[in-house]
Amino acid sequence: MRLLKELSTAQGRLTYGLTESKLGNVPTFGITVSTTLFGGEETALVEHITADYDFAEKFFYLLADNTVLPSTLKEIAEEYISAKTAVFV
């Protein structure tokens, strides 16, 4: 996993990362969120969100703009991805 972008807020106590990994030979992008706001360190990672860099980057900034914490990252990622990829017949 390679860190492509990092953004910190809350005086450096809440950090978002845009990562790149490989799924087979395909580069995919994911997100990390880390915080020390509540005493200890808490980190969450969601890998292989998409192979579309622009989609991943928009999601990265959306998370930071809305102050998403590690404890809710996975749930928000699942909802966001399913809403953006839903097909209505």
What global pTM score does this model have? Answer: 0.90
88 has pLDDT over 80: no
Structural domain containing residue 16: 2-85
26 has pLDDT over 70: yes
Span 5-24, mean pLDDT? 96
18 has pLDDT over 80: yes
| Average predicted confidence (pLDDT) for the chain | 94
Under the banding of pLDDT at 50, 70 and 90, the label for residue 85 is confident
pLDDT for res 51: 95
d(Cα 52, Cα 83) in Å, to the nearest integer? 16
Give the distance between the most distant pair of CA atoms in the chain: 48
Q: How many domains does the chain have?
A: 1
pLDDT for res 87: 60
Pairing of strands 2-9, 42-50: unpaired
